[in-house]
Structure 1
Amino acid sequence: MHYTVLGAGAMGLRYGVLLQEHAGATVDFVDTWQPQVDTCRAQGGVYVSRDGQNKHLVPINIFTPEEYTGTPDAYIIFCKQMGLAEMLERSAHFFKPNQYAITCMNGMGHIEKINQYFPAEHVLGGTALVATVLNGAGDVDFIGQPGAGTMNICPETEKPDAMTPKFLADLTAAHLNPNLTDNFLGTLMAKVTFNSVVNTLCTMYQIRMGEFIAAPTAEKLSKQLIEEAYSACEAAGIQLLNSREEEWESIVHVSAVANPLHFPSMYQDFSKNRPTEVDYINGFIYDLGHKHGYEAKTHDFLRNLVHLAEFSKTFDVAAFTDEVHARAAK
């Protein structure tokens, strides 16, 4: 099988490299971040570590969207929500009617954008409970032992076709541990709920997942956010994969056992002064509930707190101080 990864960031590199190395797939990478393309080309591939150890160079083929002319069977899409529309628009010239799109992006809002280029019959959406860190251009760290992490995947139509088992076979060979589900929105929203707790709270307090789950208040905070997320989904007629208690148990396991030393992706963006995806996670939950008469107020509160934290990092304190002093001198 031939795959093209749209978005050669942390997760895109992990999926593509593992498919290339373990499933024997042909994999190309397309990215809009020019330093990533230039660095990987200059060094002959991407440096891959596992939990910060055994750093080695893996050869990859990487292109900008304008350069790419390949014809894969499927695209694996791992963009940030804010950059997806640009990626799809710049890549549209090489999309073909028979191709598929597979995505396990964080947050919500991406499926509608992907459907502008790929019909529902050719879209598989899912969630990845896998931790990966992009240290910088051309340098990625796979967190966890080989085979660590799982993913849920579901055709948008909720009806597998002849290509579905082929994709699952490759993802299994790549040690990504796919689980085929039959509930598309419930699959996606289960991960959004998980991220609305762990990603957002770890970012707010700049702590690792293990630090968060060790806090005495972790259970109360988590269950409050889970309750609101599930109530918003129920108001919208969405049945999640797990029960509320199972969602809490997943948060405990991933945070305490699977990835206790990991900083979530939202924190990684925040720490590097990049916009976070909070509007597509907590914000989406609030907006979904509000549309159907339910107010997930804690999610809205956290969304605004994250934006306040983002603003505080860009605020020009020196200029503000000078302005205050100038006003006082008048």
Structure 2
Amino acid sequence: MKFAMIGAGAMGLRYGILLQEAGNDVTFIDTWQPHIDKIREQGGVYVMRDHEDRHLVDIKLETPESYDDDPDMFIIFAKQMQLADYLERCAHFIKPKHYAFTCMNGMGHIEKIQKYFDDDKIIGGTALIATVLPGPGEVDFMGKRGAGKLNMCPLNEKPDQMCYDLFNELDKAQMNPTLTDDFMGTLMTKVIFNSVINTICTMFEIQMGEFGNFSGFDSMARQLIDEAYDICARADIHLVSSRDEEMKALEVNTRVDMPLHYPSMYQDMINDRPTEVDYINGYIAELGRKYHYEAATHLFVTQAVHLAEYHRQNEKAKRAAEMKESLIQSH
């Protein structure tokens, strides 16, 4: 198949490179100029797995303005707050026949994608796959080859041949896809998962294993899960796992699969990028309000992450001011 990856960040590179290695024609479309410049300068992307075996992989890279091709499928990976601008810049090459697949974190992206793609050509998904972008022009795949998995479901919940073709290519790329039959339930189950791990680890700037092995892990995770599941029940959203199954997935992910990993929300914060907490815990809280349920814990941790962001920015500004004052005094 011919794929165009809208977004060549950590997850876009992982999906695209694995699909390329499985024999597909893949072009990456990105807007981060230092990333684009570095890839072009070095003739590809440096790929690692668990910080080892760093090697250069040749990729086709374009910007939204320079891309001019006709893929079978667009795969979309952008940050929630950047997506609207990304899609607007890509609008000139998106045609009514085109399909879109996305496994972005959080909620709110599907509505943006619907402005450019027909409902029967949108496939949503969720990924339990960890990847890090250490800097421009390099990516680190976490976990052994074949590690991780993803769920996928067409928006209209009626898989067609293109959906099955995508499934087969993802399977060949060893991404372990599962085709589900409930679109909203599939996406919300991952949002709830992220609302525990991503948020708590980011608040306290800790690895996932530190949280998973903390004595209060069960009670903290259960409180967030119970609020979210109560809200989904009111909203008639049928989640693809039970509360106990979600707890078990959190335990395995933090204690066994990726104990040394920092989630993507943490990576955004320490690199001075806005976090997606408003599209995860904030989204759950807003959904709760819609159905007359006050998600006090999700509201609290949403603000706690923003406080952590605010504190980091203040500390950065303070250090810059101290450095400036030191330079003035030295002269």
TM-score normalised by structure 1 residue count: 0.95
Counterpart for residue 17 of structure 2: 17
* Corresponding residue of 1:275: 274
Within-5 A mapping of 1:135-284: 135-284=134-283
Q: CA deviation at 1:317?
A: 3.9
Following superposition, the deviation at residue 96 of structure 1 comes to 1.3
Cα distance in 2 between the residues matched to 1:62 and 1:232: 42
Residues 216-250 of structure 1 deviation map (CA, whole Å, 9 limit, x = unaligned): 00010000000001111111111110000000000
Which one-letter code corresponds to 2:9 in the other structure? G
Contact persistence 1:39–1:137 (CA under 8 A): yes
Alpha-carbon distance, 1:320 to partner? 10
Alpha-carbon displacement from aligned partner over 1:84-132 (angstroms, at most 9, x marks no partner):
0010000000101111000000000000000000011000001000000
CA distance in 1, matches of 2:292, 2:88: 34
Q: Which stretches in structure 1 are left out of the alignment for 5+ residues?
A: 322-330
Contact 1:197 1:222 in 2 (8 A): yes
**After superposition, where does 1:3-152 map in structure 2 within 5 Å?**
3-22=3-22, 24-152=23-151
Partner SS, residue 161 of structure 2: coil
What letter corresponds to residue 30 of structure 1 in structure 2?
A: I
The 2-side partners of 1:50 and 1:162 are apart by: 33
Please state how far the C-alpha of 1:58 moved relative to its aligned partner.
0.3
- Give 1:142's aligned amino acid: F
Change (3 A) 1:318 1:179: closer
The CA distance in 2 between the partners of 1:155 and 1:318, in whole Å, is 49
Query: 1:232-291, CA deviations, whole angstroms, 9 ceiling, x for partnerless residues?
Result: 111111111000000000001111111111000000001111100000000000000111
CA contact (8 A) 1:30 1:64 kept: yes
Equivalent residue, structure 2, for 1:307: 306
TM, length-normalised to structure 2: 0.95
**SS of structure 1 residue aligned to 2:206:** coil
Give identity over the alignment, percent.
Answer: 56
Conserved 8 A contact 1:121-1:156: yes
How many Å apart are 1:36 and its aligned residue?
Answer: 1.1
Q: Deviations over 1:158-209 (max 9, x none)?
A: 0011211110110000111000000000000010000000000000111111
State the distance in 2 between where 1:267 and 1:318 align. Answer: 21
The whole-number CA distance in structure 1 between the counterparts of 2:309 and 2:7 is 24
> Deviation string for 1:275-320 (max 9, x for gaps)?
0000000000000011111111100010011111111122244799
Offset at 1:83? 0.4
User: In 2, distance between residues paired with 1:279 and 1:216?
Assistant: 27
- Match of 2:158, SS state, is coil
Contact 1:124–1:154 under 8 Å retained in 2: yes
User: 2:93, 2:38 → 1: CA distance?
Assistant: 24
Q: Which AA in structure 1 matches 2:215?
A: P
- The AA in structure 1 aligned to 2:3 is Y
Q: For 2:12 and 2:319, how far apart are their aligned partners in 1?
A: 39
Distance 1:257 1:70 in 2: 42
Distance between the aligned counterparts of 1:187 and 1:14, measured in 2? 21
Q: Residue 308 and residue 320 in structure 1: after superposition, are their counterparts in 2 closer, same or farther (change >3 A)? A: farther
How does 1:282-297 map onto structure 2 within 5 Å?
Answer: 282-297=281-296
Gaps of 5+ in 2: 323-331
CA distance in 2: counterparts of 1:32 and 1:238, whole angstroms: 35
Q: Which residue is 2:325 aligned to?
A: none
Q: Distance in 1 between matches of 2:104 and 2:287?
A: 18
Where 1:308 maps in the other structure, the secondary structure is helix
How many residues align? The count is: 320
